[in-house]
Amino acid sequence: MNTQEFIKIEDDYFINTFTRQPIVLDHGEGVKVTDIDGNEYLDMFAGIAVNALGHNHPALVKAIQDQAEKLIHISSIYYNEPALIYAKKLVEKTSFDRIFYANSGAEANEGAIKLAVKYTGKSEVISTVESFHGRTIMTLAATGHEHYHEPFKAILPEGFINVPYNDIDAIKEAITENTAAIIVEPIQGEGGVNVPDNDYLKQIEELCHENNIVFIVDEVQTGFGRCGTLFAHELFDVKPDIMTMAKGIGGGVPMGGILATEKVASAFVPGDHGTTFGGGPLVCAAANAVLDTLDEENILDNVNEVGDYFIEELKKLDKEIIADVRGKGLMVGIELTEPGAEYVDKFREAGFLINCTAGNVLRFVPPLIITKDDIDEFVKALDEIL
């Protein structure tokens, strides 16, 4: 079958939820992916900031292969070694005390909000405009995009208040005696790679402490080295009560999780929350391989070095169409003075996979193993295309 025939299968049989790029990807190696026609692309998107180690990383592939031969699934009713080892390892690297395994970012956020509500006995949640927290009904309510809410207004839960991002006064005004939680991304991803002021998260932390509100950071996109520290909230010197994660956690296997402090975590007792797949041996073996490889290959150093270089090189480009260059580590955006969608096609045709978010922000979230040479190749192409 050729690409057009494959795409027709999608048109005929899929529920229509995605605007896809018209290529069928076949295999990948490092920062490159190849489609079924043999066209090679430099992957500046990494499956929406997921493939932290790139494609076909030997440590990740081996971990999955070895674990698949032993056990793939047993349910949450029994213990499994990879999940236990991973929990200890990850908790010891953070300021949190306990973990819950989920299967996606939305599911992690859903659980985090349930935990905050149970812990506080309150029912309001403050989140930010242009945020993205997921597609389930509750996380949709937390997601600050009116047009995502619109078709489902009738069944969205009450108590979710979206306030402008990076505006501490807006949060102050939204707090009531019924506020259970404030949930924010340390750097907004889908919203357009929005980096807040240095003291924004610290001020939220203080407001949460003063008002006995649970401080939730959604690190689904920013976590696992994406922004140059293991988790992006570390950049802002805060200790949230709950953190959610997914995307990069398993290097591509579907997985999510919640970390919480002892105090907040203690609100859950058996029966309050659960999952069939979460924390299974296969995904946890993958997650162990990702976390170990981040250390062994000093990947955070690479993120900082290459990320800083990338942003510097982009800032050197002197072009009318570039309104702003921003980001942290390898989460980088260029805001254009016009819509960006057609540029995504131009880049693809030139052999580069990128993404456009928030209408006019070209977003680059490549594998964390990308090199300066790859960046040079990309920036040269970008200079020509823009």
Ligand X SMILES: *Cc1c(COP(=O)(O)O)cnc(C)c1O
Binding site for ligand X (CB under 6 A): 104-106, 109, 132-134, 185, 189-190, 218, 220-221, 246-247
* 8 A C-beta contact, residue 103 and residue 278: yes
Looking at beta carbons only, is 105 or 281 nearer to ligand X?
105
Smallest distance from ligand X to CB 135, Å = 6
Whole-angstrom CA distances from 301 to 147, 160, 228, 371 are 39, 38, 7, 12
Task: Report the 10 Å Cβ neighbour count for 198.
Answer: 10
Smallest distance from ligand X to CB 49, Å = 7
Looking at beta carbons only, is 253 or 382 nearer to ligand X?
253
User: Which residue's C-beta sits nearest to ligand X?
Assistant: 105
Smallest distance from ligand X to CB 66, Å = 25
Q: Nearest to residue 40, comparing CAs of 31, 50, 49?
A: 31
Looking at beta carbons only, is 138 or 382 nearer to ligand X?
138
Looking at beta carbons only, is 193 or 382 nearer to ligand X?
193
Smallest distance from ligand X to CB 168, Å = 20
Whole-angstrom CA distances from 108 to 16, 111, 139, 325 are 25, 5, 10, 30
Looking at beta carbons only, is 243 or 382 nearer to ligand X?
243
Looking at beta carbons only, is 159 or 189 nearer to ligand X?
189
Smallest distance from ligand X to CB 71, Å = 24
Q: Which residue has the tokens 């659980």?
A: 111
The two beta strands, 25-29 and 32-35, are antiparallel
Indicate if the alpha-carbon torsion angle 369, 372, 374, 375 is positive or negative: positive
Smallest distance from ligand X to CB 151, Å = 18
Report phi then psi at 366, rounded to 5: -75, 170
Task: Report the 10 Å Cβ neighbour count for 315.
Answer: 13
